[in-house]
A and B are shown apart, each in its own frame.
Chain A
Amino acid sequence: MKNTDVESAPRMPLWVKVFGIAFLVLVLAFVVMALSGHGPGQHMS
Chain B
Amino acid sequence: MILRPQLQDLKNIGYYSGKILIGIGLTMLVPMVVGLLFAEINPALDFLIGAEIALIVGLILTKLCFTEKDLNWMQGMVVVSLSWLATMLVAAIPLYMSGHWGSYLDACFETMSGFTTTGLTLVQDLDHLSYAHNLWRHLGPFIGGQGIVVIALCFFVKGVSGAFKMYVGEGRDERVLPNVIDSSRFIWLVSIVYLILSTLVLGLVGIANGMKTANAFFHGACIFMAAFDTAGFAPQSQNILYYHSVLFEVITMVIMILGAMNFNLHYRIWTGDRREIWKNIESRALFIIIIVIFLITLIGLSQVGSYPRALVMFRKGFYQVISAHTTTGYMTIYARQFIDDWGALALAGLICAMAFGGSSCSTAGGIKMLRLGVIIKALQQDLKRIILPERAVVEQKIHHLKELFLEDKQVRAALLITVAYLALYAIGALVGMFYGYPFLDSLFESTSAAANVGLSCGITVPGMPVGLKLTYIVQMWAGRLEFMSVFALIGFFVAAIRGK
Instruction: Say if A and B assemble together.
Output: no
